[in-house]
Each structure stands twice: as C-alpha cells, then as structure tokens.
C-alpha cells in the first residue's frame, strides 16, 4: 500500500479538526447540484434517474468511507465536476439535436479481469491512427467539443495528474497515468452515478451492493451520448474502448451497443487478485482511513468471480466469433502479432500504420517504465488454493493455467 507523505498527513490531521467543527467540504446532494449549476449557469440535468445512484453514493461516502479531509475534498470536487459535465452535455444536445443522430458503429471494447493486459492492449489498439479513443484530457475537459489536441487542456490535465501523484506517490508503478493516454469507460459513465469508478476510488460497500443490483443500461446510454458528443467534432473508423468492469455488465453493454466488437483478455487469476487488490488499496488509502488490505482482497475475490460468472452467462448466448480471446502472455510476447490476430478475427484491415502505432506506443510506454511493483496474495488475506477453486469454472472454460 502506498505511503502518504508527511505534508499530506499534516493536512488531513488539521482538516480532521476542521471537519469535526462542521467546516469541512460538504457532501449534501442539494448543495452539490446547486454548486454545479452556479458554475455552469445551467439548470437542466436531463433524466432524473441519476439521482438514485448519487443519493446512495453520498450516503455511503458519509457513513462508511471514513474520508480524510483530502478525501472529502476529492469526492466533492469529482461529484461537482461530473454534475457540470452532465449539465453541459444535456445543454449541448438541446442546442445541437443533430448530435443524437451520430452513429456509434461497431465500437471495439476490451474487457477482462483487471491486470490481465487490458491497459496495454487498449493503448496498442488505440494507437491505430484511423481509430478513435477517448483521451484522458478530453474526457476530463470535454467542452467545447475537441476537434484536435488542445495544448492548454492537455497541460491542465498534466497538472491535475501531477497533483494526484503527490497524493498517491508511486501510483504509476501500478497503473499508468497520462493526459494523452486513452481513458476508461468508467469515466464516461460516471455522470450517471452508476459506475464502478466510485468503488475503485472509495471504500463504499453500500454503494457497491446497490450497484450490483442496479440496471446499468442507462449508464451505457449516457456513455453512448458522451461518445456521440466527442465524435461530432472528430471521428475515426471505430471507437476503441475499455474497462475491466464490462465483465460485470456485458448484457447492458450489448443492449446499448448491439454490434460491439469484443476482445476479452485472460491471465492466471492468482496474479490478478494480488495486483488489483494492491491497486485498490493504493487508490483508496489516499482518501480514506478505512482501508483494510484483507477486506479489500476479500471484496475483490468476490467481485471478479461474480463478474466472470455473469460474463460467461452472456457468452453462452453469443456466437463464438463475437469475442476474440487474448492471453496476457501473448500480448507481452508478441504485441504486434496479437494486434494482427485481433484485427484479422474482427475483419479489420491491418495497415503499416497499425503496426507502427503499436510499436510507437510500446516505445513510449515500456513495461516497468515507472519502476516495478511487488505484491503477494498473503498481503491481502488470500490463499492461492482458495483463489484457484473460486475461479475453477473460468480456468476450465478458457484453459487458463495456474
């Protein structure tokens, strides 16, 4: 788990006193919405369905997350920012109704257990200059619709990421961050407040329980609306998109994107569980005093067994040629060949620019670019035999060896 710096500990200590006096950053729903409306000068938030998830999230943040002062500030800032995005997207669609006619055709989604090579594969595929992926900077600062790289917005995103690195030193060892790197779908769904993003960032067990029972179709519809907005200014042949959480809601994804192309990554779950638990602890410990590594490990084991079971049920109903399965080891051993295999299976053209893009991405983002990170199952209260047994059905179906 990443250590907090002395300055951060002092900030949180002083802030704790301030919070007990009732002066800390507020997380009242009405006040957060009012703040977003003041900042944008807009009032229409569109369909009110988002309020259920927002209410559950806020109650979980207040009652369970044990937020530090910095955590409360981070939660407030993020939520107000998401409400601003929602207000602006709704307003843009009202002013430009033609955007709703934009067709998101055959988007390619990368899904798989966390730490199975989804990030590197996503970056490799997104490096194809004929494709389109949502860059971190344009998802964070999407207004006005970006028709090309915007140096000012990219620089602002770089500053934001630099601040986050000071809060969570060493986070790049576990998960790469960059303004120009492609962003995950979680961020595109977050303004609907039905997104695994919040579970990743904060210990919010009640929200996670609610999310597992929620209908994610509205969140995927909001993602499509976001993509329509972005592509109205700049298009590509297909969208390249990714998040491991798609494993949990593949049925909702396919309802909204019925012609989606799917690539599923695979790796030994014993490697996966230690790595993703480490990432979760690192993310949450920067904002919360309620991070128990053993509890995180148990949560992650349960979450991804559940997610894979749901994915396998959906795949039972899909033709074999709807999904390309990719092993982590193949992505690492032969990245260009893996990309070519995916393109061939999906009927996409492999041009010299595709292979050049893959090589350029790997040159700019080599393995262990920011150093290596070591972790074991024991650190998170997990046992290899237990993990093997929990994922036995997955291993057998996809011939994933321990």
Looking at the chain, the whole-number percentage of residues with pLDDT higher than 90 is 82
DSSP label of 184: P
Helix (H) or strand (E) holding 241: strand 240-242
Residues paired with 263 in a beta bridge: 110, 324
Which residue would you say has higher pLDDT here, 20 or 299? 299
pLDDT score, position 175: 64
DSSP label of 230: H
pLDDT score, position 115: 87
Parse the chain into domains and list their residue ranges.
6-398
pLDDT exceeds cutoff 80 at 96? yes
What mean pLDDT is predicted for residues 237-266? 97
Query: How far from each other are the two terminal CA atoms of the chain, in whole angstroms?
Result: 25
Contacts with 327 (C-beta within 8 Å, 6 or more apart), sequence order: 265, 266, 267, 400
pLDDT score, position 19: 44
Among 64-68, 192-196, 298-302, 319-323, which stretch is predicted with the lowest mean pLDDT?
Answer: 319-323
164 contacts 221 by C-beta, under 8 angstroms: no
Among 51-60, 67-76, 171-180, which stretch is predicted with the lowest mean pLDDT?
Answer: 171-180
pLDDT score, position 18: 44
Cis upstream peptide for 144 (omega within 30°): yes
pLDDT exceeds cutoff 80 at 171? no
Farthest CA pair distance, the chain: 62
pLDDT-based confidence at residue 399 (cuts at 50, 70, 90): confident
Which residue would you say has higher pLDDT here, 115 or 194? 194
pLDDT score, position 20: 43
Q: How far apart are CA 149 and CA 170, in angstroms?
A: 28
What mean pLDDT is predicted for residues 173-189? 88
pLDDT exceeds cutoff 60 at 9? no
The full length of the chain comes to 402
36 contacts 83 by C-beta, under 8 angstroms: yes
Q: What are phi and psi of 319, to 5 degrees?
A: -60, 150
pLDDT score, position 320: 83
Among 169-173, 306-310, 355-359, 386-390, which stretch is predicted with the lowest mean pLDDT?
Answer: 169-173
**Mean pLDDT (the chain, rounded):** 91
pLDDT-based confidence at residue 359 (cuts at 50, 70, 90): very high
What mean pLDDT is predicted for residues 344-360? 95
Residues paired with 256 in a beta bridge: none
pLDDT score, position 387: 95
Among 13-27, 174-188, 333-347, 384-398, which stretch is predicted with the lowest mean pLDDT?
Answer: 13-27
pLDDT score, position 21: 41
pLDDT-based confidence at residue 24 (cuts at 50, 70, 90): low
Q: How far apart are CA 303 and CA 293, in angstroms?
A: 15
pLDDT exceeds cutoff 50 at 10? no
pLDDT score, position 321: 86
Among 9-23, 38-52, 191-205, 343-357, which stretch is predicted with the lowest mean pLDDT?
Answer: 9-23
6-398 placed in CATH 3.40.50.300: yes
């Amino acid at each position: 788990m990443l250590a907090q710096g002395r300055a951060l500990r002092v900030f949180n200590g002083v802030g704790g006193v301030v919070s007990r006096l009732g002066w800390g950053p507020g997380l009242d729903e009405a006040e957060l919405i009012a703040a977003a409306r003041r900042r944008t000068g807009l009032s229409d938030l569109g369909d009110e369905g988002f309020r259920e998830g927002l209410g559950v999230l806020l109650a979980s943040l207040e009652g369970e997350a044990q937020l530090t002062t910095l955590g409360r500030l981070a939660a407030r800032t993020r939520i107000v920012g998401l409400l601003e995005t929602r207000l602006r997207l709704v307003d843009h669609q009202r002013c430009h109704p033609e955007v709703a006619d934009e067709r998101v055709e055959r988007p390619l989604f990368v899904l798989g257990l966390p730490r199975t090579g989804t990030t590197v594969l996503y970056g490799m595929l997104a490096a194809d200059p004929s494709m389109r992926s949502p860059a971190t900077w344009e998802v964070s600062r999407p207004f006005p619709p970006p028709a090309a790289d915007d140096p000012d917005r990219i620089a602002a995103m770089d500053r934001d990421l630099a601040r986050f690195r000071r809060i969570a030193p060493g986070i790049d060892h576990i998960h790469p961050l960059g303004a120009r790197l492609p962003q995950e779908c979680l961020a595109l769904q977050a303004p609907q407040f039905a997104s695994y993003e919040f579970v990743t960032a904060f210990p919010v067990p009640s929200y996670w329980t609610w999310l597992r029972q929620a209908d994610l179709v509205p969140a995927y519809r909001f993602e499509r609306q976001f993509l329509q907005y972005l592509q109205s200014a700049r298009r590509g042949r297909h969208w390249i998109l990714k998040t491991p959480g798609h494993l949990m809601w593949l049925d909702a994804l396919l309802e909204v994107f019925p012609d989606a192309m799917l690539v599923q990554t695979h790796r030994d779950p014993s490697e996966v569980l230690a790595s993703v638990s480490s990432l979760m602890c690192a993310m949450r410990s920067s904002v919360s005093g309620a991070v128990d590594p053993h509890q995180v490990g148990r949560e992650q084991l349960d979450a991804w067994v559940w997610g894979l079971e749901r994915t396998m049920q959906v795949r039972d109903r899909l033709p074999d040629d709807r999904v390309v399965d990719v092993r982590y080891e193949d992505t690492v051993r032969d990245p260009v060949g893996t990309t070519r295999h995916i393109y061939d299976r999906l009927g996409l053209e492999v041009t010299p620019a595709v292979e050049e893009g893959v090589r350029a991405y790997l040159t700019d983002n080599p393995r262990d670019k920011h150093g290596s990170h070591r972790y074991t199952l024991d650190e998170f209260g997990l046992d290899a035999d237990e993990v093997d047994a929990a994922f036995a059905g997955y291993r057998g179906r996809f011939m994933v060896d321990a």
